Structure 1
Amino acid sequence: MTRHDGGRLRRRARIVLCTLVAVLAAALAPGNGALAEDFVVAGPLVDYRAAGTAIAVDEPQGDFVSHSAYSGGATCPCGCGGCCGGESFWLRAETLLWRLSGQDLPPLVTASPTGTPLPGAGVLGDPSTSILYGGDTAGDGWRSGVRLSAGVWLDSCETFALVGDYFHLGQDGDDFSQGVDGDLIVTRPFFNTQTNTQDVQLISQLNELDGDVRVESFEELQGASIGLQQCLKRCCDPCGRGPSWRIDLVSGYRHYEHNSRLAIYEDLLVLPGTTQPLVPGTTIELRDQFDARNEFHGGEFGLKTRVERNGWLFESLLKVAVGRHRRTVDVDGSTLNTVPGAGAFLFDGGLLTSTATNIGSYQDTRTAVIPELRLSLAHRLTQRLTGRVGYSLIVWDEVALAADHLPPGLAVDPRNLPPVAAGGGPDPAFPGIQGSTLLAHGLDFGLELNY
């Protein structure tokens, strides 16, 4: 080899070294990905090129991929076999702040000023009457609850997972109580079908009755599911430059349960100055109670999407459950009269309930379709712990509510009240099982542990 040939080889070696350095620098520079041209200024003499001559260099395609995430191509791995997760299971605990659509109530307790003539005191439509309870929606306020979710991957590539959740939305009690008030005549309104006029039952009146009335109204909702989560498509960026995302199919078993109650209680004492055909000192304990229960069992399916970038995560879940919806309505009532010197007498039925007409248990089963939507935004607090905030929505049609099964128009035939007399009509009637749309929605706040 001549000295001239050795110098040429050294110069070519410098060319290769400079080119490798330039390519490596371009590959590690942020923001690269598409094929593009860059220019490198040559040294004093590079392969017979003059100093300062620009050399065109092609940058590599794609982002840098670590060896563990490399799947054979120049781009980041996409597909359900990418194996870029490394998590085995997750556990999520959330506090719920939700609202339900509530129950529509007719006027149940009324009053008029003391001194109002009895034929009109407390009667609906009378100018002196004010509504103390009812005539609006009950149970539609904010209420708290809890939801627990968990899942475990069944394979190392996070293709299949076993998932489940349970939530409970607590009772939003809309209770009411009215005791003796010397300035008021307190009554319970109803429509008297025997006289075909609006009428009332006295609760408290000066020198007539000392009494109090209580109304209990509540709803509660809970649900649970167990199923499989299957990866449909995902794309991972182990470098953290772009978003990682995945789309999963969710399917399995779903259960929902909704319960509601409307109950009215009276405790009365007949006073010595009574003008009613009652023995002074008699006590009367009366109860009207309406309960509704809804149970759903079925299958559900839906799509779950997840996008993550720079420690922030956005998730959406849209599911539809299809199955059997069983509705049960129970109507009950009682009246206990304790008469001085005569003893206690217990009867079935109250003011809005009667053994002759509507007391009993009623049930039917129908097909229901229940959609559910969840949206959440999360941030990784540590490698394993994530904080979350989100919104949830459940829509359940034809739900039986307790208040929907009061006698229509609060119509009552007094002959059917205890003790039941002959010749009474169909009132207070059972209207048949009624359905309303239940809307449950609100905010979710939680933490998720991944391991």
Structure 2
Amino acid sequence: MKTKWKMLTLAALLSAGTTTANAADDGYVGDLGEDAYYADSTDYVNDLYNEDSAAPAAAESAIEEVVEEVVEEAQYYPSELETVSYVGDGGEYAQQNVGSGIPTSLASYGCQTGDCNGGCGPVAAAPVYMPTRRVAKQTSAWLTAEALLWFPQVRSTVPLVSQNTAGALPELDQGATVAFGGQDAFGGDLQAGFRLDGGVMLSEDFGMGGRFWMLGEAEDTYNASGDGTTGSIGIPYFDSDLIANQENALIIAYSDGTGAGDVDFQGQIAVRSTLEMYGAEGYGRLRLLGGKGYRSDFIGGFSHFGIEEGLTLAATTTQTEVGAGQGDVYRFNDDITAENKFYGGQIGFLTTVGRGAWTLSALTKVHLGNMDQTWTSRGSRGRAAFADQAGGIFANNAEQTIEESNFSFAPEANIKLAYKMRPNVSFSVGYSFIMWDDVLMIGDNLNRDINTGYLVLDGAGAVDAAERPQFLGLETDSFFVHGVDLGCVIQF
């Protein structure tokens, strides 16, 4: 009976340790993982598996003392020992000696003959398997879906469309206003998108994952038509003709109210500016620090970004004024694209702190690599019976492609607050900021110094090469995007 009482004590201690682990598995234990980067192991939260914790150490010491006494008495009462059941255990299995009820690791303390006359040694018995306890559950995989409510930086360009009152020319030095294009013309508005993130923890300290994000296409458009009786419409430019050398405008709709007819020009114009952005990453995370309720990781991996801006312009105008050129139709088309593709690496740090069901995470990193830039422009213009000529208003040739590649860097920051609604489901709100230091944009590369003879096809449609608008070379500048993230995290 003495031996059985101590075996009950041992079973109670072991069961208590198992119950604590299972409770940690089922309750809120302050998981640090709230996003792709934020998957965690709960070993560093609430002292579940903290080597500095006094409670597990004390329990382990007590268990060892009881085991030593049981083993000692097993030398004298081997037949009275019974197998101890591990309450609530599961997972891996350990070999046990059936004959004595003692695990193989303790079998060397048993007797060979049962009466100890032959000396002590290993007890011969058939091996069986029994479950062992789990100390703490680890998050091994994650999947994150976020809605992005981001705001791209405002973009500028040359004035693309001008308007003036009826009877006044649509020239900027004649009181006309910019109707489309100009300083800070595009961007700055909400651009919705999504971000997906997933990965797996390969060990307590190391995990791998990937993510992809995309913003919906941002679009700014202008469409107008008229005969000038309600207001004039034009495309303003700076006349590079050495004689004029002043503000001018390609007239789309205009009426001066004099002469045989009230209408001089009537026509229509459509302009469209677009912006698309996306990012793809593959990364690894390595734990640097860990403690009660916090964890700090090193982040490293591969980065790819795409930023593409487009501009299309189509205009048609007909001269209705009585006199030379009456009935002539002018046609203009421009199609310009500026494409940026970044390929490089990323390094950074992620720090996460948790308290109860709340988690606060801060991510800072920088992307370093090459920005491949491609400028593509194509255009055409025509007049009356003349065949269409190569080159539009701002696109100075039938088709032109220029490519460059420059070293670039892109700092990124994100802060996120998450709340655990269910054991494996969290909802988060955060703020993100990304800036690229070298981006090719259309507005920085349009030349509005245009020769009037080039536009109106003087000389029966023949154009001197010197009259074409000159391309000044690729100009780049920094560009950023920032905004709010709303996410849902599922951990497995």
**Normalized against structure 2, the TM-score is what?**
0.68
Unaligned runs of 5+ in 2: 1-44, 58-133, 256-262
Residue 197 of structure 1 pairs with residue 246 of structure 2 = yes
Match of 1:125 in 2: 173
Give how far 1:83 is off.
7.8
User: Matched residue of 2:466: which SS?
Assistant: coil
Q: Quote the Cα distance in structure 2 between the aligned partners of 1:442 and 1:374.
A: 10
Residue 365 of structure 1 pairs with residue 405 of structure 2 = yes
Asked if the contact 2:396–2:471 (Cα under 8 Å) also holds between the matched residues in 1, the reply is no
Match of 2:429 in 1: 389
Q: Quote the Cα distance in structure 1 between the aligned partners of 2:278 and 2:449.
A: 34
Unaligned runs of 5+ in 1: 1-62, 237-243
Give how far 1:321 is off.
1.0
Asked if the contact 2:319–2:325 (Cα under 8 Å) also holds between the matched residues in 1, the reply is no
Give how far 1:65 is off.
5.3
Alignment of 1:5-20 (within 5 A): none
User: Matched residue of 2:218: which SS?
Assistant: coil
Q: Quote the Cα distance in structure 2 between the aligned partners of 1:139 and 1:287.
A: 24
Give how far 1:112 is off.
2.2
Change (3 A) 1:154 1:420: farther
Match of 1:433 in 2: 474
Asked if the contact 1:231–1:248 (Cα under 8 Å) also holds between the matched residues in 2, the reply is yes
Asked if the contact 1:229–1:248 (Cα under 8 Å) also holds between the matched residues in 2, the reply is yes
Alignment of 1:141-160 (within 5 A): 141-155=189-203, 158-160=204-206
Deviates more, 1:385-394 or 1:256-265: 256-265
Match of 1:31 in 2: none
Match of 2:488 in 1: 447
User: Matched residue of 1:345: which SS?
Assistant: coil
User: Matched residue of 1:189: which SS?
Assistant: strand
Asked if the contact 1:413–1:424 (Cα under 8 Å) also holds between the matched residues in 2, the reply is no
Alignment of 1:400-439 (within 5 A): 400-407=440-447, 410-417=448-455, 418=457, 419-422=461-464, 424-425=466-467, 427-439=468-480
Q: Quote the Cα distance in structure 1 between the aligned partners of 2:162 and 2:449.
A: 16
Q: Quote the Cα distance in structure 2 between the aligned partners of 1:301 and 1:64.
A: 30
Match of 1:220 among 276, 280, 286: 276
Asked if the contact 2:251–2:317 (Cα under 8 Å) also holds between the matched residues in 1, the reply is no
Match of 1:325 among 350, 365, 371: 371
1:284-343 deviation digits (Å, cap 9, x = unpaired): 431123210111100111111111111000011111111111111112211245x4xx5x
Match of 1:245 among 294, 297, 301: 294
Match of 2:351 in 1: 305
1:147-193 deviation digits (Å, cap 9, x = unpaired): 111111112xx311111110111222111112115211211111111
Q: Quote the Cα distance in structure 2 between the aligned partners of 1:65 and 1:381.
A: 22
Match of 1:353 in 2: 395
User: Matched residue of 2:220: which SS?
Assistant: coil
Residue 266 of structure 1 pairs with residue 315 of structure 2 = yes
Change (3 A) 1:317 1:70: closer
Q: Quote the Cα distance in structure 2 between the aligned partners of 1:333 and 1:76.
A: 76
Q: Quote the Cα distance in structure 1 between the aligned partners of 2:219 and 2:233.
A: 23
Change (3 A) 1:322 1:83: farther
Question: 2:54 is matched by which residue type in structure 1?
Answer: A
Q: Quote the Cα distance in structure 2 between the aligned partners of 1:353 and 1:416.
A: 12
Match of 1:230 among 273, 281, 286: 286
Q: Quote the Cα distance in structure 1 between the aligned partners of 2:316 and 2:291.
A: 68
Q: Quote the Cα distance in structure 1 between the aligned partners of 2:155 and 2:225.
A: 24
Change (3 A) 1:115 1:249: same
Give how far 1:373 is off.
0.5
Q: Quote the Cα distance in structure 1 between the aligned partners of 2:46 and 2:235.
A: 77
Greater percentage in strand: 1
Deviates more, 1:173-182 or 1:189-198: 173-182
Match of 2:303 among 233, 241, 254: 254
Match of 1:30 in 2: none
Asked if the contact 2:238–2:450 (Cα under 8 Å) also holds between the matched residues in 1, the reply is yes
Give how far 1:75 is off.
6.7
Match of 1:90 in 2: 142
Give how far 1:86 is off.
1.6
Quote the RMSD (CA, aligned, Å): 2.5
Change (3 A) 1:188 1:197: same
Q: Quote the Cα distance in structure 1 between the aligned partners of 2:152 and 2:195.
A: 16
Change (3 A) 1:200 1:366: same
Asked if the contact 1:290–1:405 (Cα under 8 Å) also holds between the matched residues in 2, the reply is no
Identity over aligned residues, as a percent?
A: 25
Change (3 A) 1:97 1:65: closer
Alignment of 1:33-182 (within 5 A): 69=49, 71=51, 73-74=53-54, 84-116=136-168, 121-127=169-175, 129-137=176-184, 138-155=186-203, 158-180=204-226, 182=229
Q: Quote the Cα distance in structure 2 between the aligned partners of 1:169 and 1:393.
A: 14
User: Matched residue of 1:203: which SS?
Assistant: strand
Match of 1:211 in 2: 267
Q: Quote the Cα distance in structure 2 between the aligned partners of 1:99 and 1:64.
A: 39
